[in-house]
A and B are shown apart, each in its own frame.
Chain A
């Protein structure tokens, strides 16, 4: 009851911090798509490059977020952004690389060789094959990678409150330091709800941009 009262009394604050949270994750994952998808496509041409890029991306994802924030403080201080929004976006951008690059790479390399050969044999250029066939077929898998990145990084962003990036993590960090369960639970709840809601929204988007020919629900054949 106490918690519900707290939520009702602080609704405006929750909305503001949710906005900050989305601004970090949205911008960072957006940038990660712009870098990760082309990297994933590029490494699908070369097995050895793919192995090393995926290896580096896997190492990055194992660095604990709090340690990553700590490491970035001295580096980004040089440009006056040691704490706050910028390091939070960079951390999320780095963590998003692995799921997005790996899923793009897997999706492109798994395109049936027969489709590739048919496309080549009919005189489609490299770029046309990518645009007409390979990317449309890869959409569901790439979107799955993006969803993993978003859900995971909504959690990571909660920790960015410790470097002054704002967002829903502020409720959690204040709840801990002030031993205030109301704030702590509100923060945790809001982060979970945001993660679930984002996943559903992206799933909807995924369905929307996937060709009907690739969906499972087929009309009966004649």
Chain B
């Protein structure tokens, strides 16, 4: 846990404080993204945590221990640090770069080298190839992965990351972000992450702290920041498409109608029509014996035709997995020109419907109570 209490930084000769009475807490195991335009104080705030910059006033605690009680050098060894420019040491091999903190902490060599190999496996880089290479022999994306591994090598509980993926091309950035989130799911580090990219923040953050002119303007979950921006500055910063951005945060299950009615091939069309009318639907899904999606029947066909569902069903243009986000769901609807999708799990078992109207309703709900 990182806690800032009334922290202020005034640089010598500056008229305005760079960081102005900031109080916030990053709970253990969460990613907090400090977000804002250049010069808003987000980087200064982060650098005060590992005392690369000393606060002018206020207190910073890590796990309830005042950072001023540490020797700065000792403090920094317990906080992982990743920077945008990566800063791998070109004179050292990848192995020695990763092991730099374990080495200065005096770890046993076989333990630290074993750890380096283990970490490389985690980011899908073959230790046999990469351990003995030098940084210049790696691509930018590979170097930044090593930069992250170096920060977590000594297993610090807290990570400070200063625009760590900012210098990487968009495709690789998305891959590395996903990889990092997967690692974080098991590592559960407490992370302070500086970014100026709202999309990155929405993707990575458990909480977002929006800074402007040294002040902490809003500190909340990504969904709340997008749904209820506190003022004009925040809503401008998150962008006019903030509602669309929320779609990324919400899963298909959030908007899905659970336990929907369904019919089987041996049911009659009359049964299907009755079920639809009962629920106010205009179509119904036909499932197989195990509950897998097979097709659908619409109300018009069911009412005008006689016979079994199995002989009159139509195939679905597509389905969507319940674990997908709503942005993918909406995009799929647009692509296939439909207003609803059948939702399935990984075994293609029918789970429910998601409709365009349901999604609109979900997004609108959060707006209204704000």
Contact = CB atoms under 8 A, between A and B. Distances in A.
A221 B138 contact: yes
Interface in A103-162: 112, 114-115, 117-125, 128, 132-133, 136-137
A133 B134 CA distance: 14
B91 A121 contact: no
B139 A221 contact: yes
Given A115-B89, A221-B139, A121 B77 contact: no
Interface in B74-114: 74-78, 81, 83, 85-93, 100-101, 104
A118 B104 contact: no
A121 B101 CA distance: 11
Nearest to B76: A123
Given A124-B104, A213-B136, A133 B52 contact: no
A219 interface: yes
A212 interface: yes
A122 B77 CA distance: 6
Contacts of B185: none
Contacts of B88: 118
Contacts of A218: 134, 136-137
Contacts, number: 82
A79 interface: no
Nearest to B130: A222
B286 to A, nearest CB: 50
A123 B75 contact: yes
A41 B52 CA distance: 22
Contact of B134 (A118, A122, A132, A213): A213
B52 A212 contact: no
A219 B137 contact: yes
Q: Binding site of A, secondary structure by majority: helix, strand, loop or mixed?
A: helix
B77 A123 contact: yes
B135 interface: yes
Nearest to A115: B87
Interface in B40-97: 50, 52, 73-78, 81, 83, 85-93
A213 B52 contact: no
A214 interface: yes
B140 to A, nearest CB: 10
Contact of B87 (A114, A128, A136, A137): A114
A196 to B, nearest CB: 29
Contacts of A121: 50, 52, 76, 81, 83, 160
B14 interface: no
B81 A122 contact: yes
B129 interface: yes
Contacts of A212: 134
Contact of B90 (A120, A123, A214, A221): A214
Contact of B135 (A122, A123, A213): A213
A114 B89 CA distance: 10
A188 to B, nearest CB: 41
Nearest to B96: A132
A45 interface: no
A166 to B, nearest CB: 41
B3 to A, nearest CB: 20
A211 interface: yes
Contacts of B100: 122, 124, 132
Question: 4 closest Cβ contacts across the A-B interface?
Answer: A118-B87, A213-B134, A123-B76, A114-B85
Interface of B: 50, 52, 73-78, 81, 83, 85-93, 100-101, 104, 129, 133-139, 150-151, 160
17 contacts: A112-B85, A112-B87, A115-B89, A117-B85, A118-B81, A118-B83, A118-B85, A118-B86, A120-B52, A120-B76, A123-B101, A133-B91, A211-B134, A213-B92, A213-B136, A214-B91, A220-B137
Interface of A: 112, 114-115, 117-125, 128, 132-133, 136-137, 211-214, 218-222
Given A122-B100, A136-B91, A221-B139, 17 more contacts: A112-B87, A115-B87, A117-B52, A118-B87, A118-B89, A121-B52, A123-B101, A123-B104, A124-B100, A124-B104, A133-B91, A137-B91, A211-B90, A211-B134, A214-B90, A218-B134, A222-B129
